[in-house]
Structure 1
Amino acid sequence: MKKILSVLVLYLFSITIISAETVVLDIDKSVELALENNLGLKSSRIDVDIKKRASDLSWNRFIPTVQVSSTMMRWNQEQSGNILMVDPTSSLGFGLYDRVISSSYDLPRWGLSAGLDFSLNLSYALFKEMKGTKLDYEAGLISYEIALKQLQRDVKKNFYNILVFEENLWLMEQNIEAANSRLEQAKINYSNGLVPELSVLSAQVGYENLKPAFSEMKLGYETMLNGFKMLLGIDLDTNISLEGDIVINPIELDTEKLTGYFLGGRLDIKSMNKTVQSLENAKAGLQLQTMTPMLMFGLNFDPAFQNDPLENNWFKDIGDNWSQQSGMFRITLAMSLDSFLPWSKTQVGIKDMEDGITQLKLGIAQANVGAEMEIKTIVMKLNKSMEQLETLILNISLAYEAYRLSQEAYDAGSKELLEVKDAERDLNTAKLEVLKEKYNYITGLLDLEYALNATLEEIKDVSNE
């Protein structure tokens, strides 16, 4: 028993250790997890599956409607029937009679009937309905692609944003350490009578003021990590560590070439064009449905049981015990005439759909202009980031030179250690600013890829043509 308990304890302990392990993620693994686990993307996949099934089975409109029914009834009053028969006393010979008499008989109190109905309506509009399901499926594929591309972009942007935030958090820790060192130095100087008490108080205020800001940053960092985990579709209790660097490869961008080549392939433009196709198909379907004949087929059977269903066998002597009431086969050709009137509800609906299509086409034209402006804005921001990076990289060189000189002066005894730390902090701040601008550039490229619905390699090829 003790051995079993020991094994169980070791098993539970191993589970605890495994659950506490940190999952190391690079950018590719993060995207892979998101594509596999993101709940929003899973929902979009289900939408596509529903639309695909509807498109694949759109032919089921040609399957007849079949309805079967059965009715058990009981009359409230006794029912009887009459039958005419010859009077056997009025025989004239040779099988002839000159009188008939009426004879009554009681009908069963209970009755049983069955019904079987087939119906099928055919019109030219059915083919437009089938095409409509296909267009709806194609629109669903575009919507899914939009969700997919958005998720990939957002995962990458969040990944890089967390890397920058971690650097910022580390720099804040360095600032707090430097503020604490200044406070300790001020206390020593005050004890030695070198500075007034006000200097100590000022240093302490500066140190204490950094603590709430640091706590707020840590809270923001945890919130950012949880949001990233939710985006990846992993448990919020999972410990993760991001592995990667923000490395950029600047490229020359030609706005006119990019807009001319990729504008029509934008996913939002594709979606709007598909909506226009769907509306035009729906309009054609309405015209065919209301302004062309409809052919209707019908077949029904309604046999009734002639004996008492509670006393007689339902399946014995079926030909004698069951009688057809009014079953029939029918073919009907019908057509609406009021639909041809220009002021009819149908014609007004068609006009409304035509106006809606015109409005949507105007919206597409406006979306094209907006998309072109968006692309130009992204390219301008990317060019601006490159210019700022040149300046910020120069600042790193200057900050590094200042740090080097401070270190040399400290080694020579002409500067204090705090001054060296301040110079080092300035150098780290300059590096952080470069990192932030690299983040702006790389996320700008991600936005450009999404805006053009193209890969970075495709963008490079078109710009360099």
Structure 2
Amino acid sequence: EQELRVQLVEAFYGAMVADEYVEVTGDALDQAQRHLDQVQLMFNEGVVSEYDRIRARVAVSNMRPDLIEAETARELAYKGLKNLLGMDLDTPITLQGEISDIIQQPELGYAAAADYATERRLELKQLDLQRKLYEDQKLIEQRNWLWPNVLAGLRWETQAQSNEFDFQDQRFYNGTSAQLMVNIPLFNGLASHRRSQIAEVNIRKMGLQHDMFERGIRMQVFQATQSYEKASETLQASLENRGEAEKGYNLAETRYAEGIGTQLEVLDAQLQLNMSKVNVLQAEYDQLIARAQYDRALGQVQ
């Protein structure tokens, strides 16, 4: 169940990223088209050469397949999500919100998170329950082996006799009896002792498995914490890089419009800006997945 929830979370985030990737690709195409329109006006005025116009047209043409590919990827992401949800693949759905709004910083550091996970994970609870069952079994077998079974009983009765069904004038005779039975397992002791030993072996086995699972869970928490920190640092760097790329593109456009820059500078700035936007999307997705893995390690995927 936990793994299915993780898959659903990843599929949901993947669909959201696919939505934003289509938007980024569409913006890049619009940006290239605006530049082509500007080049066309400048060409009509005799400011730029035919070569500049051709390069601008080629840039627009090269971006159209990227948009088609992004739309196809989005459709596949949506169908994958609907498949996990058990929905008809052709049923339209709309996702609400933006990636930046759902990214949440982990509330606990590694040490506290690891302790929390070991108390919450169902795997450890199941092992603890199995060990408790074996401990109870061992106690029962030890009692059968070491202790005799004692049964005690007390009986009280009253009697009367009459030829007629009338007991009002009859004398009743009261009597009591008691019994005590002691069962000493002389011949069953070896079998109980053997079952007790088997239970002890199982108790130790459950303890070893518990320790192994606990170490594995702590390792999962550590890896998830490190992955989230790395994804956060990457996202921060990607956001800063995108800001610089936007400044670079605006500067290249201004220089080109004023006749002191080249179209090569504009196209290169466009490429760098588009790449920086895609990198931000990838970093956001990586951070969301890292958070989902963190929640999975803590046993709290919703």
Fold shared by both chains (TM-score > 0.5):
yes
Residues of 1 paired with 2:212 and 2:285: CA distance?
31
1:277 equivalent to 2:126? Answer: no
Q: Name 1:357's counterpart in structure 2.
A: 203
Q: What is the identity, as a one-letter code, of the residue corresponding to 1:162?
A: A
Aligned with 1:378 (options 224, 235, 252): 224
1:158 equivalent to 2:11? Answer: yes
Q: What is the identity, as a one-letter code, of the residue corresponding to 1:275?
A: Q
Residues of 1 paired with 2:218 and 2:247: CA distance?
44
1:266 equivalent to 2:121? Answer: yes
- Relative to its length, the structure with more strand (as a share) is 1
8 A Cα contact 2:16 2:95, kept in partner: yes
Residues of 2 paired with 1:424 and 1:154: CA distance?
35
Residues of 2 paired with 1:292 and 1:169: CA distance?
78
Shift of 1:285: 5.9
Aligned with 1:411 (options 254, 257, 263): 257
Q: What is the identity, as a one-letter code, of the residue corresponding to 2:88?
A: D
Give the direction of change, closer, same or farther, for the CA distance of 1:176–1:350 in structure 2 (3 Å limit): farther
Shift of 1:245: 0.7
| Structure 1 spans left out of the alignment, 5+ residues | 1-146, 296-332, 457-465
Q: What is the identity, as a one-letter code, of the residue corresponding to 2:111?
A: E
- Counterparts of 1:234-249 in structure 2, within 5 Å, are 234-247=87-100, 248-249=103-104
8 A Cα contact 1:171 1:429, kept in partner: no
SS in 1 for 2:188: helix
Shift of 1:218: 5.3
1:225 equivalent to 2:71? Answer: no
8 A Cα contact 2:224 2:297, kept in partner: no
Which structure exhibits the higher relative contact order, with contacts defined as CA atoms closer than 8 Å and separated by 6 or more residues? 2
Cα deviation 1:285-319 (Å, max 9, x = unaligned): 667789987x9xxxxxxxxxxxxxxxxxxxxxxxx
Q: Name 1:339's counterpart in structure 2.
A: 188
Shift of 1:166: 2.8
How many aligned positions are there? 253
1:442 equivalent to 2:288? Answer: yes
Give the direction of change, closer, same or farther, for the CA distance of 1:391–1:271 in structure 2 (3 Å limit): same
Give the direction of change, closer, same or farther, for the CA distance of 1:422–1:285 in structure 2 (3 Å limit): farther
Q: What is the identity, as a one-letter code, of the residue corresponding to 1:340?
A: G
- Relative to its length, the structure with more helix (as a share) is 2
Residues of 2 paired with 1:216 and 1:280: CA distance?
60
Residues of 1 paired with 2:129 and 2:266: CA distance?
64
1:400 equivalent to 2:246? Answer: yes
Shift of 1:450: 2.7
Give the direction of change, closer, same or farther, for the CA distance of 1:176–1:427 in structure 2 (3 Å limit): closer
Q: What is the identity, as a one-letter code, of the residue corresponding to 1:396?
A: R
Give the direction of change, closer, same or farther, for the CA distance of 1:173–1:418 in structure 2 (3 Å limit): farther
8 A Cα contact 2:28 2:274, kept in partner: no
Give the direction of change, closer, same or farther, for the CA distance of 1:349–1:225 in structure 2 (3 Å limit): farther
Shift of 1:396: 0.9
Cα deviation 1:125-148 (Å, max 9, x = unaligned): xxxxxxxxxxxxxxxxxxxxxx2x
Q: What is the identity, as a one-letter code, of the residue corresponding to 1:236?
A: L
Residues of 1 paired with 2:70 and 2:247: CA distance?
30
Residues of 2 paired with 1:257 and 1:193: CA distance?
65
Residues of 2 paired with 1:281 and 1:222: CA distance?
55
Q: What is the identity, as a one-letter code, of the residue corresponding to 1:400?
A: E
Q: What is the identity, as a one-letter code, of the residue corresponding to 2:188?
A: S
8 A Cα contact 2:6 2:296, kept in partner: yes
Q: TM-score by structure 1 length? A: 0.44
Q: What RMSD, in angstroms, separates the aligned Cα atoms of the two structures? A: 4.4
8 A Cα contact 2:235 2:284, kept in partner: yes
- Counterparts of 1:103-142 in structure 2, within 5 Å, are none
Residues of 2 paired with 1:221 and 1:390: CA distance?
25
